[in-house]
A and B are shown apart, each in its own frame.
Chain A
Amino acid sequence: MGVLSVLILIPLLSAALLHFAKNDRVAKLFTLVSTLVTFGVSLVAYSQFDAGSSAFQLNEKYEWITAHNLSINYIVGVDGMSLMLVLLTTFLTVIALIGTWNSQSKQIPNLMALILLLQAGMIGVFCSLDLFLFYIFWELILIPMYFIIGIWGGERKMYAAVKFFIYTLAGSLFMLVAIIWLGLEAAKVTGVFTTDLMKLLAVSRSLPLDVQNYLFWAFALSFAIKVPLFPLHTWLPDAHVEAPTIGSVLLAGVLLKMGTYGLIRFNLGLFPQASINNASIVSTLAVIGIIYGALVAIVQTDIKKLIAYSSVTHMGFIVLGIFSMTREGLQGATIQMINHGLSTGMLFMMFGMMYERKHSRQISDYGGVAKITPLFAIFFAIAMLSSVGLPGLNGFVGEYLTLMGAFQSTVLHSWWYSILSSTGVILAAVYLLWMYQRFMLGPVTHESNRSLKDLSTREIVSLVPLVIFMIWIGIRPMNFMNVTASSLNALSDSLTGKTEQPKSDYQMVAPKVIVK
């Protein structure tokens, strides 16, 4: 068994073992150990990964279903982009767990089991190279997330949980239809119904363009809901506001990335021509999302909602970067996925810490908090500035690259995408700085706030790694971009016609054996 299967299995088995944990503290400690081990294993995967190659690596393939003329296999493997997202997942789960250690008190073993299931699903989504397997992991996420929001959420938790569930399922059913369609097309060519991504890549590109177009939209609908892209974003604020802190962190940090990951891996990968043809439509929606999300964020009085709408903006940048299809755009999009996971995850987590103390989400209930909790104010400022895109911190790198990519894009043909989206950067400064000002600065408006406690050691421990990565990516982005570079460059070159065929698509290399 390879390292990727181990990564998926550890959380699954741990979740099952949690059934025997009757004590809350034992359950939490066990989960922490489990996620730390998973993180460690993901670092092992990183160490075995050859960043110089654009091919899928650490591959594993096991026979699963072979019935009649149907062949579905368990195939996992990563390229640079998916490896980064796996690392983000394993890292953020540990951080979120430490950061929200005491924030919930009821049914802890169940919560921990659901989080581990969620983690297994997220890792599985990023590793699957078989569309049937991908779909299973994609749907596996729904149920834990539904219960995390539904049981541990805020006042309108049921509404938010069901809305999340229904939106996502609606999209994914069309993806399922598209997957089956592709499998049947493969069956016409080879005689075997298959959902193997490598085999489908050869099939999908030779389909008639109108069929490619339908399938492109069937996949895009599912991913656009997850991202969420502009008209389909309405589930996000509800889900974020009502979810418990750990749910919000993982939702913003990782779950949304599943959508953008899918757009790169499946939409661009399977239907290059349809992607180029539809790039302007998707990019327009992304730009609308950037501006709309920012404008709505400005007027929010609820901090969690404000951060949620800022997510819509940030994810818009990522989608714009993806559909620019340039090397810079794709690189920027990927680095921005990591950035958004770190900075928005940190914003949600920090606000969760404040919520535990004050139990209010309204900005007006705070004011001048910086005087009372100076450490909190400093960390919150870093997260906020990273989200704004201050040079020197990570957000700047991602936004700059996506905008540059969109500017140079030969697919989009227009500067307007970049010009209009750059207003999103300015507006981000408006809503985030203004929020920070009303939240943290100025005189203390509520006397009751004077009793708020500053960050505890545990909370600082959970925040420091995030800050380290924010600064690291801000100063030395190449350390991270090198991992994703070869696979994304190959994809971009294939799309923009610099090379005939992307290397990564047709080539699977055997798992690298480390010789000591």
Chain B
Amino acid sequence: MRPLVYLDHAATTAVHPKVLEVMLPYFSQKYGNPSSIYTLAQEARKAVDDSRETVADILGCRPNEIVFTSGGTEADNAAIKGAAFSTKQTGNHIITSSIEHHAVLHTCQFLERFGFEVTYLPVDEYGLVNVDDLARAITDKTILITIMLANNEVGTIEPVPEIARVAKERAKALGTNIIVHTDAVQGAGALDLNVNRLGVDMLSLSSHKFYGPKGVGILYLRRGTPFMPQQSGGAQERHRRAGTENTAGIVGTAVALKLIVEDMEHNRQHCQRLRDRFIEGITAKITRAHLNGHPTLRLPNNVNFSFDYVEGESILLNLDFAGVAASSGSACTSASLEPSHVLTAMGIDAQRAHGSLRLTVGSDNTEEEIDYVLSILPGIIDKLRAMSPLAEPNK
């Protein structure tokens, strides 16, 4: 049995050994509730506060602008619903893109049931939002713009600083206020997360995407941003997110973020070298393979190809037999019967969307692993094409 070649880092990552180490004492030794008064609890309180400072330093904000959540999905929900419901008196219009993660898209669709109107901006063939489209979509009713920092499927990096600047300029001219949120879940470890350079009011992160634990997210909430908490209960997180703090998870998250940011330049170069090796290898070895996403405005770890005449799940099963873990935009790999909404929004036809393969590399991958996948993938595609009624002979 070959060792696992894990190429699905955009789905989740393994917890870094150092992260696990700092988390462990908070399960059975320093288990106090941070809201309690005794020494045991105050150890936990200090750990949460220190973690908040670490995260704030990295994002370039104040510690009290950080809200810990149960994950990226909750951070997106809290940001979008929290901003929308607290500003409904001033406007009901939200702008997002058609390629957002479902945590954003489905939250916007949910808000449509409560009288909000949502503009889903189109993207170009590379998955890029057009800033002029965005500027044109803004009205005096626009209260919120939420555009992802980078796309999880195709890795396209969106012009968030420009989007934020245009939004603020238009709002100023209209005499309104527009809150700008970005789902930065895929950007950690690859892109600048400084909230002032990005120009955003709210930003979401998910710990398990950067070698932290599952079940912890970060919501940055700029001071003064209208916000209605989406969870009722205790006074935790300055009344913005009720519920006993996940001390171990928060401690692990802060350390994971620190490690990934400290190592960012090295990790970026490492991933990009592997990514480019993959892209060049696939392009050279497999005919009718189409790179999805932008050639350069692309996350350093994302490879996404469509292969004509074959279906994604069949590729994934064959890769799994060979010990390789990857992902696809095929309908078969989701709960719905529709192929990827991201690829569809990019104008990629359904058949090609079904035949997509996403390989996302991480700091733990090696060139040997990439070469191994490049040695087996052409055979897998050939085998599937040989049984496909869509394939034209000799192509």
Report whether chain A binds chain B: no
Interface residues of A (CB under 8 A from B): none
Interface residues of B (CB under 8 A from A): none
